[in-house]
Amino acid sequence: MHLWCIGIRGFRRLHKEGHVGLSLILFSPFMLLFRSLNADMTYVLITCVLMAAFSSLPDIDIELQGEYGIKHRGITHTFLFGIGVGILLGILMSYAYASLGWLMGFIAGFGSTASHILGDTFTFEQFSPFSPFSSMEVSFGLFGSSNKIVNNFMLGLGVIVFLISYEPSIFWQIFRTIKEISGI
Ligand SMILES: [Zn+2]
């Protein structure tokens, strides 16, 4: 077991909370970027919400395990699967928003899978996200995937980072509140 292990080996998937939190954290810098470019934040917000909503889709392989030769952390945990989800979501979204829907859908679909893959690499179980192009297996083994503290921490951090990047003035409100409460 790794020395920097902060959890125990448990179930083989990071919980939904952890994946939602991580996708919010990863999307937040883009939110700030689009905000600085004066983009329509409605589109940006919808893309972010979709990415968070689909962030646990790769774990559908747990339900489908055994059928069609599907195994956990197999095909649905690859960037190729992410491209497929991105294309599908892009097609669906292009019906909702004619101009930018395809791009929103692709970013949300691919981003959700990429974020999920990144989250799962923090856990113990190795898998091959570059399959079928490379069989290289990755796992940083930082914590057990069912570690509740880590999952809840990531969700909490994700929500805070998301709120601050959506509306930066929230940061100062939180700062002022903490200051008032602590009486500094
Ligand atoms: Zn997973």
Residues with a beta carbon under 5 angstroms from ion ligand 1: 13, 58-59, 120
163 CA to centre of ligand 1 in angstroms: 26
Q: Which of 17, 119, 9, 13 is nearest to 62 (CA)?
A: 13
39 CA to centre of ligand 1 in angstroms: 32
Residue 107: per-residue pLDDT: 96
132 CA to centre of ligand 1 in angstroms: 18
165 CA to centre of ligand 1 in angstroms: 27
82 CA to centre of ligand 1 in angstroms: 13
pTM for this structure?
Answer: 0.84
Q: Which segments within the chain are labelled E, that is strand?
A: none
Residue 174: per-residue pLDDT: 81
164 CA to centre of ligand 1 in angstroms: 27
Q: Which of 5, 173, 174, 27 is nearest to 104 (CA)?
A: 27
Question: What are the boundaries of each domain within the chain?
Answer: 16-182
- pLDDT by residue for the chain (184 residues), tens digit each? 333 333 333 345 678 999 999 999 999 999 988 888 888 889 999 999 999 999 999 999 988 888 888 888 999 999 999 999 999 999 999 998 888 899 999 999 999 999 999 999 998 888 999 999 999 999 888 877 778 888 899 999 999 999 989 888 888 888 888 888 887 6
C-alpha to C-alpha distance for 69 and 55, rounded to whole angstroms: 23
CB 102 within 8 A of CB 123: no
The radius of gyration computed from the CA coordinates of the chain, to the nearest angstrom, equals: 18
Burial class (CB in 10 A: 0-12, 13-18, 19+), 131: middle
